[in-house]
């Protein structure tokens, strides 16, 4: 059977239909490798676990990751870019803040020497380059990263000493450039992933959204997936030195809310643990997820006790190479939980 490049809409339609034929399953499964991982099993599932078994991000869309500083936006971008490279795709990294650390990038298997890297000044610079980009790989899925959109200036701000005092030009330029670029992403199957900051919304009122991402309304409109990331807790480690307990913060756990989702259901949540010298600790959150929903005092895998200490359980999984088995159990458990929320309603009759 000849396999052809399948659009996201066709993939979703095939996966949600009940009782697929074997030939249809074959076509669908043949495109699973085109889903890009965020580095977190639970976040991948939160984004598209209802339409693709392992979840992840498809090509041809714009993804905005927004939140305060220090919560892991750049980490997620590097994880996504590294995954695309491992799959044979090309990476085009826009770094307006000019602060990507090459040594930091290696934690995510991101080879900075083989990717295209630029430090643009303005919004048009980024989007013009996207429309002109010709990836060097033969892969059908390539990624464009922008870290961050809030750091981009406008032509008016760069060329005028008085700048853009009212700040209105930024929103207009984002709107203009996204209109011209959205169709290019879909036609060429580019995945555009951009980070953004948050600002206090002074006009929110009692019930409005307290924090918004800068750049106007166009980003929210054209994004297929918007991930709101915030700090949940700090990860501390305690060691004995000269008989005394010494504490150190070694990472953070961030909460990610799928604020908008045109791929699957919105408003799912996932915790993502980030260790400063390691990156996303998927094992940590997967073990915690199983313990939370299966109960008990021990961290387990396939019904067998590993340890009642999270750190020890993590080491056991790593030492025995059980990462895949752990991920598989998390996916099965996540799917089992999701089924409990199915409405069971029949298709509405429309006359």
C-alpha torsion sign, points 170, 112, 32, 274: negative
**Tens-level pLDDT at each residue, the chain (351 residues):** 334 444 454 444 444 444 333 433 433 343 455 899 999 999 999 999 999 999 999 999 999 999 999 999 999 999 999 999 999 999 999 999 998 988 899 999 999 999 999 999 999 999 999 999 999 878 889 999 999 999 998 887 777 665 565 557 888 999 999 999 999 999 999 999 999 998 777 676 777 777 777 788 899 999 999 999 999 999 999 999 999 999 999 999 999 999 999 999 999 999 999 999 999 999 999 999 999 999 999 999 999 999 999 999 999 999 999 999 999 999 999 999 999 999 888 888 888
Task: Give the residue carrying structure tokens 């990507």.
Answer: 100
How far apart, in Å, are the Cα atoms of 241 and each of 245, 247, 311, 315? 6, 10, 19, 22
CATH topology of domain 8-12+32-280: Rossmann fold (3.40.50)
* Cis geometry, peptide bond prior to residue 209 (ω within 30 degrees of 0): no
Are the C-beta atoms of residues 225 and 261 closer than 8 Å to each other?
Answer: yes
Neighbours of 16 (CB within 10 A): 11
> What pTM was estimated for this model as a whole?
0.88
Task: Give the residue carrying structure tokens 């073990």.
Answer: 287
d(CA 194, CA 126): 11
Domain(s) labelled CATH 3.40.50.300 in the chain stretch across 8-12+32-280
């Amino acid at each position: 059977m000849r396999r052809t490049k399948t659009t996201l809409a066709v993939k979703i339609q095939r996966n949600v239909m009940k009782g697929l034929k074997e030939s249809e399953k074959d076509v669908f499964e043949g495109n699973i490798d085109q889903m890009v991982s965020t580095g977190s099993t639970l976040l991948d599932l939160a984004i598209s676990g209802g339409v693709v078994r392992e979840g992840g991000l498809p090509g041809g869309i714009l993804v905005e990751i927004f939140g305060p500083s220090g919560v892991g936006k750049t980490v997620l971008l590097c994880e996504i870019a590294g995954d695309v490279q491992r799959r044979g795709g090309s990476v085009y990294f826009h770094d307006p803040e000019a602060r990507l650390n090459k040594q930091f990038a290696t934690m995510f298997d991101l080879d900075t020497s083989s990717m295209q890297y630029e430090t643009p000044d303005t919004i048009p610079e980024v989007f013009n380059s996207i429309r002109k980009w010709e990836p060097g790989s033969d892969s059908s899925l390539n990624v464009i990263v922008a870290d961050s959109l809030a750091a981009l200036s406008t032509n008016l701000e760069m060329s005028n000493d008085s700048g853009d005092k009212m700040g209105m030009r930024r929103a207009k330029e984002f709107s203009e450039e996204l209109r011209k670029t959205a169709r290019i992403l879909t036609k060429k199957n580019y995945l555009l992933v951009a980070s953004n900051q948050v600002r206090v919304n002074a006009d929110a009122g009692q019930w409005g959204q307290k924090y918004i991402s800068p750049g106007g309304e166009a980003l929210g409109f054209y994004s297929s997936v918007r991930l709101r990331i915030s700090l949940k807790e700090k990860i501390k480690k305690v060691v004995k030195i000269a008989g005394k307990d010494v504490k150190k913060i070694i990472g953070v756990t961030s909460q990610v809310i799928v604020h908008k989702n045109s791929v699957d259901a919105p408003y799912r949540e996932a915790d993502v643990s980030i260790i400063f010298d390691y990156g996303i600790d998927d094992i940590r959150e997967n073990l915690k997820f199983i313990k939370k929903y299966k109960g008990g005092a021990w961290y387990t895998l396939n019904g067998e006790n590993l340890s009642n200490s999270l750190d020890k359980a993590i080491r056991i999984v790593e030492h025995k190479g059980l990462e895949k088995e752990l991920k598989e159990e998390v996916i099965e458990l996540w799917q089992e939980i999701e089924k409990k929320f199915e409405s069971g309603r029949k298709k509405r009759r429309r006359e």
